[in-house]
Amino acid sequence: MDPNTLKRLLADVASGEISPDAAARSLAEPSFSEVGDISGSPEARVDHQRAVRCGFPEVIFCQGKSTSQVSAISAELLARNDVLLATRADAAHAEAVMSVAPDARYEELARLVIVDRRPSPPREGLVVVASAGTADIPVAEEAALCAEIMGCEVTRLYDVGVAGVHRALAHVGTLRSARVIVAVAGMEGALPSLVAGLVDVPVVAVPTSVGYGANFAGVSALLTMLNSCAGGIGVVNIDNGFGAAVLASRINRPGWAAGMTDAAQGTGATR
């Protein structure tokens, strides 16, 4: 049950339109549905209460899934939700979603498929997504677009890596205005350390697989970020823009921001 449906159900109970027993029966409905069949076993079990528990519906990870699986899961999710996000999607996956949702859009650079039927999508707080280089933008765009659909206001700062540190320093004001920063970097992965030394908000570090051989497909950037001497950094997996967006969006929620303001002990540092 999505959050809007739950709110309507609670409002109906409060107004007396439905009984508490009827509401309880509704809430007791199975929280997932089964899709497809392989030798008598479902191909997927679609979680319909993810939004209630976690604040956003289940997201489809397309890599490794067939187009028929993606279309079937999409149809099942959209039957109960007005927003859909599919990650690591190629053009064939996008067409599969569009076969059940013609209003879907394909973000090729970020490899995302998005359906958003909300009349007024939320945009709150501020998440700054910074990339060290232009080659890191696909991962940064995955983070930025996912954060936007999860309800965040997003500002992008691309190609501000430490090889030209003045490029990042020119945007210190923007960095300090954020509730949370996503710093995306390949090569040696130094950008999150630089950013974290300039701000008093959490920094979500995303290593990318961009780099020459000794980058080890992102392992060197990952180790740099894990070994950072700067505080306030949390690190997600290599190329995981989606994971960074989930973490950033949860930090960006008003409850977290209010807690940060309280922790400032009257300094007036609100965001």
Comparison of pLDDT for 264 and 67, the residue scoring more: 67
Q: Is the pLDDT score of 267 beyond 50?
A: no
* Within a domain: 68: yes
What are the backbone angles phi and psi of residue 120, rounded to the nearest 5°? -135, 85
**129 & 248 share domain:** yes
The least confident of 13-22, 138-147, 193-202, 255-264 is: 255-264
Q: Is the pLDDT score of 143 beyond 50?
A: yes
From 90, 116, 142, the end of a domain falls on 116
Paired strand residues for 45: 34
Q: What is the pLDDT of residue 269?
A: 47
What is the mean pLDDT of the segment spanning 130-149? 97
For residue 11, name the pLDDT band (cuts at 50, 70, 90).
Answer: confident
Q: What is the pLDDT of residue 52?
A: 75
* Within a domain: 218: yes
**105 & 152 share domain:** no
* Within a domain: 1: no
| Secondary structure string (H, E, C) spanning the chain | CCHHHHHHHHHHHHHCCCCHHHHHHHHCCCCEEEECCECCECCEEEECCHHHHHCCCCCEECCCCCHHHHHHHHHHHHCCCCEEEEECCCHHHHHHHHHHCCCCEEECCCCEEEEECCCCCCCEEEEEEEECCHHHHHHHHHHHHHHHHCCEEEEEECCCCHHHCHHHHCCHHHHHCCCEEEEEECCCCCHHHHHHCCCCCCEEEEECCCCCHHHHHHHHHHHHHHCCCCCCEEECCCCCHHHHHHHHHHHCCHHHHHHHHHHCCCCCCCC
**86 & 174 share domain:** no
Look up the domain containing 75 and give its range. 30-116
Q: Please state, rounded to an integer, the average pLDDT across all residues of the chain.
A: 87
What is the mean pLDDT of the segment spanning 5-22? 78
CATH of the domain at 243: 3.40.50.1970
Token pair for 182? 């996503």
For residue 16, name the pLDDT band (cuts at 50, 70, 90).
Answer: confident
**130 & 112 share domain:** no
For 23-78, the pLDDT digits (tens) are 676 665 667 665 666 767 777 777 777 877 778 888 999 999 999 999 999 998 99
Measured in whole angstroms, the distance separating CA 92 from the mean position of its chain's CA atoms is 22
Q: Is the pLDDT score of 268 beyond 50?
A: no
Q: What is the pLDDT of residue 28?
A: 58
From 116, 144, 171, the end of a domain falls on 116
* Within a domain: 267: no
* Within a domain: 62: yes
**90 & 72 share domain:** yes
**71 & 131 share domain:** no
* Within a domain: 192: yes
Maximum alpha-carbon separation in the chain: 66
CB of 122 closer than 8 Å to CB of 116: no
* Within a domain: 18: no
For residues 38 and 145, give the distance between their C-alpha atoms in angstroms, rounded to a whole number.
34
**67 & 149 share domain:** no
**108 & 136 share domain:** no
**112 & 130 share domain:** no
**112 & 38 share domain:** yes
**67 & 87 share domain:** yes
**109 & 180 share domain:** no
Q: What is the pLDDT of residue 13?
A: 82
Q: What is the pLDDT of residue 142?
A: 98
For residues 14 and 251, give the distance between their C-alpha atoms in angstroms, rounded to a whole number.
32
Q: Is the pLDDT score of 2 beyond 60?
A: no
Cβ neighbours around 219 below 10 Å, total: 15
Q: Which percentage of the chain shows pLDDT scores above 90?
A: 66
Residue found under tokens 């945009």: 123
Residue whose C-alpha is closest to residue 88's, from 65, 116, 105, 71 = 65
Q: What is the pLDDT of residue 192?
A: 96
Q: Are strands 152-157 and 124-131 parallel, antiparallel or unpaired?
A: parallel
* Within a domain: 21: no
Total number of domains constituting the chain: 2
For 160-201, the pLDDT digits (tens) are 999 999 999 999 999 999 999 999 999 999 999 999 999 999
Q: What is the pLDDT of residue 46?
A: 73
